[in-house]
Amino acid sequence: MAASSASVEVVSRRRPARARDKGVVDLAGDVLKEIGVLIQTELQLLRAEISEKLTFTAWSAALIGAGALLLMATIVLLLQAAIAGLVAYGFSWPVAILIVAAVTLLVGAGLIWFGINRLSLDRLAPSKTIDQLQKDSTIATMR
């Protein structure tokens, strides 16, 4: 009887130790869970960055629209007021019209150029997500 109680003691001591040790299947399951969490996190980062880029694009488009609106308003207002003012200072009508047209062209083109330059492909690419994916890939291949 003493031998059987000693063997029961040994078995009872071993089982909790085995329960704490994870098997290959458990480790693989944990790895798959971690990969799932990583993919979810990366997708959340991608969504946030795309949202940020869309907001940035909308602001740039608004600048372009404001530039175009300013061009139209400038044409109307300057053709009426500035031309008359230049004529009052002694310029002829054709010279006054050319001066107003040149100023309007420069201001409007400058606004549109500024808006278009803000829409470069480098600024629109999801660079934070790409950097994070590269870091994750590097870490995953190091193991």
- Could you tell me what percent of the chain has a pLDDT over 90? 21
- Helix 93-117 × helix 24-77 angle, to 10°: 170
In a domain, 73, yes or no: yes
pLDDT band at 68 (very low <50, low <70, confident <90, very high): very high
Q: How far apart are CA 103 and CA 20, in angstroms?
A: 79
For the stretch 8-43, pLDDT in tens is 554 455 545 455 567 888 888 888 888 888 889 888
How many folded domains does the chain comprise?
1
In a domain, 4, yes or no: no
In a domain, 112, yes or no: yes
**pLDDT for position 103:** 87
Tokens representing 77?
A: 């207002």
When pLDDT is averaged across residues 79-107 and rounded to a whole number, the result is 89
In a domain, 2, yes or no: no
In a domain, 74, yes or no: yes
What range does the domain containing 56 cover?
Answer: 23-142
In a domain, 6, yes or no: no
In a domain, 9, yes or no: no
Count of Cβ atoms closer than 10 Å to residue 25 Cβ: 8
Whole-model pTM over 0.75: no
Give first-to-last CA distance, the chain, whole Å: 50
In a domain, 109, yes or no: yes
